[in-house]
Amino acid sequence: MAMAVAQHRVSTSGSSSINKHLDASGKYVRYTAEQVEALERVYAECPKPSSLRRQQLIRECPILSNIEPKQIKVWFQNRRCREKQRKESSRLQTVNRKLSAMNKLLMEENDRLQKQVSQLVCENGYMRQQLHTVNASATDASCDSVVTTPQHSLRDPTNPAGLLSIAEETLAEFLSKATGTAVDWVQMPGMKPGPDSVGIFAISQSCSGVAARACGLVSLEPTKIAEILKDRPSWLRDCRNLEVFTMFPAGSGGTIELVYTQMFAPTTLAPARDFWTLRYTTTLENGSFVVCERSLSGSGAGPSTAAAAQFVRAEVLPSGYLIRPCEGGGSIIHIVDHLNLEAWSVPEVLRPLYESSKVIAQKMTIAALRYVKQIAQETSGEVVYSMGRQPAVLRTFSQRLSRGFNDAINGFNDDGWSIMNCDGNEDVIIAINSSKSFSCTSSPNNALPFVGGVLCAKASMLLQNVPPAVLVRFLREHRSEWADFNVDAYTAASLKAGTYAYPGMRPTRFTGSQIIMPLGHTIEHEEILEVIRLEGHSLVQEDAFVSRDIHLLQICSGIDENAVGACSELVFAPIDEMFPDDAPLIPSGFRIIPLESKPSDTQDSLTTNRTLDLTSSLEVGPATNHSSGDVPSSQNSRSVLTIAFQFPFDSSLQDNVATMARQYVRSVISSVQRVAMAISPSGLSADVGPKLSPGSPEALTLAQWICQSYRQVASVFVNLGAELLGSESLGSDSILKNLWQHQDAILCCSLKSLPVFIFANQAGLDMLETTLVSLQDITLDKIFDEPGRKALCSDFAKLMQQVKLARSFRKILTAQELVES
């Protein structure tokens, strides 16, 4: 107790008593300046020295010879206590500054909402008075009358005075959206503001176009934030190119720029967008920094028509960034994105993607605020990544993976892409790029001289009642369920050696093991960068002991099921084991984008009883109603899945690689169909009613998959019985119903480190006392004890080995029969 009291008294005495300390007996011990300096040097090297180190210190420093070891121990304890208090004080001051700024931001938001309420009350009273007048709508001061782009004629781009009036008008409209009541903002679903949140997010309600707004606190200076956000391709993954054509100086040190921006299309089913805008950068009287932007005119302005041939001209309504400096450092930033994406130009089923403010909020507004916060944390040293990689290098890897994947999906002609002749089926598109080069930014000598180029096989499909986050997590964690190890080996060998091993590759066996090594993640873990190691071994006897491991660089995003409107992606590219910072990348992967449902969707036949459907035959045109005999549930959720895989090839092997790529992508599609049917939370529920269609191709595929797997296992263990269902049931349309109502419990597992349940029939759910939705949350550690888990894992391994041996034995017997015949 005396020790505790002494430490408290010393720690609260402050820096003024740095040379006066208490020993273990409660007596003050005075230290000279030389003694304190010697102790501080040791503390800098080792804050908690051992008793041997303290005794060694006394022997090495004669000036400490008159101090007992116990006294030196107490000095180090007090020193650590003061250091801890100093850090805690600094942390609390930082938190206090953040909370003060956030409180100011919330008060401003509250004032804005109060003004909006007052304005609505006044408008309501005014409309009541003018209810019987013919011109009431002309005097309506609602959202549309404020935010609609004025129809001014295109002024001469070389006339700064002409464009300045447009810039000032844009600034006024942008500020009315950022801090005023020009738009009826509502809180973004699922994103409540708080001390630990990134910011405050809102989306528009009942106004023209789609709009989103964000505001938050960032520990960077306003000019730095503006510089980051103006470089849109560095943080907006959907931005293909941004080019400033003209720049004029404006008052108050501002600038006016004419900007042409190209955006990637998110899927193969829709054309890309471009914008021709005026961007105005200026400083307000209160010291705030503003960057605002709007479209100048329609599709006839901007670059030449040839440059924008593959794009649909969209419109930017007054948008931008308002950045205000904070007392004590940092800035408060307001972001507004207001667009008209011309939804008429896409298939009707995809129009919710272009009419959703939630999607714009996730892809642009929230992404911008998260990015500047990420830069701020990296600048302050709060982010530390593994494997010795700098944050900027890891960000570059993520951007290159995403951009390469977008390039493959879009296949722009000016990048050298062209479509190959198809075999009549339009489900998989084959595109080639003979001019594709993979030169490295810093080491041109490492460029891979592909003689043929790169081939891309891509396809898109609709998903019904399949959570995108769940599907992406499954594809990430169970790669062996859909991927072919030999295809990965072909691409990896092409990148590593610059040669092509197809056909005639050395056969390789995938051991089924994949190791995920994390590299880094964003501040809210919405995107993860990692290295995947796939373990493989050669099947050739002379190379039996040679490792055939493959390494993939991979980004995974959108795996949070609660993120409204978020896009889920899994993009990967083969890399060398010791990949350099400028390693060439050929990305492939999956993208799943949720589509918001509308009341009119209940009449759309595409949402009835098909879980997946290729959408290559969709047509663009005005909205039409489709009649259907089935009545879908109002809880149906849809999303669009886009798959793109790239393969390097030699010119002499182009046809072979194209055939292999088409077959491989079709096999991946088939695997995704099985997985999607298995993880669909409503596809197999007993209370589904009309939504369950036992005769659908997907239901038959799932049921036949289960029966075939059981048959293969039963052929090894005779006592299990040869068939799960009778032969009369296998040919019936009610196969899934019979499987669901089977008297025995049927559980389907996917094997990784432990078996994971992915499907169970009604008897299986009753046995586990759970539901189909909650089945995936049940793990074996909740069912078995430790001996049971070990026995089950051992049995699984033996079972899989026996199944493999039985398959090999059947192949030998078949070959022998052929020889005898």
The tens digit of pLDDT for each residue in 111-134 reads 777 766 766 667 676 666 667 564
- Out of 85-94, 153-162, 238-247, 717-726, the most confident range is 238-247
Q: Which residues partner with 177 through β-bridges?
A: none
- Out of 146-150, 481-485, 595-599, the most confident range is 481-485
Between strands 568-575 and 550-557, the pairing is: antiparallel
Confidence at 367, pLDDT banded by 50, 70, 90: very high
386-435+453-496+509-538+547-597+636-677 folds as Alpha-D-Glucose-1,6-Bisphosphate; Chain A, domain 4 (3.30.530)
Task: Name the residue among 406, 370, 366 with its Cα closest to residue 213.
Answer: 366
Percent of the chain's residues with pLDDT above 70: 64
Task: Name the residue among 505, 515, 586 with its Cα closest to residue 549.
Answer: 515
Q: Return the pLDDT at 193.
A: 60
Q: Return the pLDDT at 179.
A: 87
Q: Which residues partner with 758 through β-bridges?
A: none
Say which residue, 617 or 232, is predicted with more confidence: 232
Q: Return the pLDDT at 589.
A: 96
SS3 454: strand
**Topology alike, domains 34-126 and 160-383:** no
Quote the crossing angle between the two packed helices 654-679 and 697-714, to the nearest 10°.
90
Listed range (36-50, 370-384, 571-585, 795-809) with the worst mean pLDDT: 795-809
In angstroms, the first-to-last Cα distance of the chain is 95
Q: Return the pLDDT at 152.
A: 42
Listed range (683-692, 751-760, 798-807) with the worst mean pLDDT: 683-692
Give the Cα separation of 609 and 563 in Å (integer): 26
Give the CA distances from residue 40 to residues 18, 20, 53, in Å, rounded to whole numbers and listed in that order.
11, 14, 14
Q: Return the pLDDT at 779.
A: 66
SS3 634: coil
Is residue 725 within 8 Å of 637, Cβ to Cβ?
no
Position 450 pLDDT exceeds 70: no
Tell me the longest C-alpha to C-alpha distance in the chain: 103
Task: Name the residue among 221, 200, 173 with its Cα closest to residue 103.
Answer: 200
Mean pLDDT for the chain overall: 74
Position 688 pLDDT exceeds 70: no
Is residue 249 within 8 Å of 255, Cβ to Cβ?
yes
Give the Cα separation of 272 and 175 in Å (integer): 29
Q: In the predicted model, what is the mean pLDDT of residues 86-105?
A: 77
Confidence at 636, pLDDT banded by 50, 70, 90: low
Give the Cα separation of 53 and 809 in Å (integer): 68
Position 378 pLDDT exceeds 60: yes
Q: Which residues partner with 246 through β-bridges?
A: 258
Position 526 pLDDT exceeds 80: yes
Listed range (45-49, 184-188, 548-552, 799-803) with the worst mean pLDDT: 799-803
Residue range 271-287, pLDDT digits in tens: 999 999 999 999 998 88
Confidence at 244, pLDDT banded by 50, 70, 90: very high
Q: Return the pLDDT at 630.
A: 38
Q: In the predicted model, what is the mean pLDDT of residues 772-786?
A: 66
Confidence at 148, pLDDT banded by 50, 70, 90: very low
Q: Return the pLDDT at 801.
A: 66
Q: What would the DSSP string read from start to end of 54-108?
A: HHHHHHH-GGGTTS-HHHHHHHHHHHHHHHHHHHHHHHHHHHHHHHHHHHHHHHH
Half-sphere exposure of 377 (CA within 13 A, CB side): 16
Domain boundaries, the chain: 34-126, 160-383, 386-435+453-496+509-538+547-597+636-677, 697-804
Position 624 pLDDT exceeds 50: no
Task: Name the residue among 751, 667, 737, 728 with its Cα closest to residue 702.
Answer: 737
Q: Does domain 160-383 have CATH number 2.60.40.1890?
A: no
Listed range (477-486, 543-552, 625-634) with the worst mean pLDDT: 625-634
Position 338 pLDDT exceeds 90: yes
Q: Return the pLDDT at 36.
A: 85
Task: Name the residue among 819, 135, 444 with its Cα closest to residue 811.
Answer: 819
Confidence at 213, pLDDT banded by 50, 70, 90: very high
Residue range 430-448, pLDDT digits in tens: 999 987 655 444 444 444 5
- Out of 123-132, 412-421, 797-806, the most confident range is 412-421
What DSSP designation does 364 have? Answer: I
Between strands 311-313 and 272-283, the pairing is: parallel
Say which residue, 794 or 143, is predicted with more confidence: 794
Neighbours of 806 (CB within 10 A): 15
SS3 531: strand
Q: Return the pLDDT at 7.
A: 37
Q: Return the pLDDT at 554.
A: 94
* Residue 519 CA from chain centroid, whole number: 15
Say which residue, 528 or 189, is predicted with more confidence: 528
At residue 26, φ and ψ (nearest 5 deg) are 90, 5
Name the residue type at position 528: I
Residue range 694-749, pLDDT digits in tens: 444 555 666 777 777 776 666 555 444 556 666 555 554 567 777 877 888 888 77
Say which residue, 172 or 114, is predicted with more confidence: 172
Q: In the predicted model, what is the mean pLDDT of residues 607-633?
A: 39
Position 220 pLDDT exceeds 70: yes
Neighbours of 199 (CB within 10 A): 23
Is residue 358 within 8 Å of 189, Cβ to Cβ?
yes
Q: Return the pLDDT at 57.
A: 83
Give the Cα separation of 645 and 665 in Å (integer): 7
Q: Which CATH class is domain 34-126?
A: mainly alpha
Say which residue, 9 or 802, is predicted with more confidence: 802
Q: In the predicted model, what is the mean pLDDT of residues 187-209?
A: 78
Identify the burial level of 73 via C-beta atoms within 10 angstroms of its C-beta, where 0-12 means exposed, 13-18 middle and 19 or more buried. Answer: middle
Is residue 523 within 8 Å of 198, Cβ to Cβ?
yes
* Residue 727 CA from chain centroid, whole number: 46
Position 10 pLDDT exceeds 50: no
Confidence at 557, pLDDT banded by 50, 70, 90: very high
Q: In the predicted model, what is the mean pLDDT of residues 86-104?
A: 77
Residue range 26-77, pLDDT digits in tens: 566 778 888 888 888 888 888 888 888 888 888 888 888 788 888 888 888 8
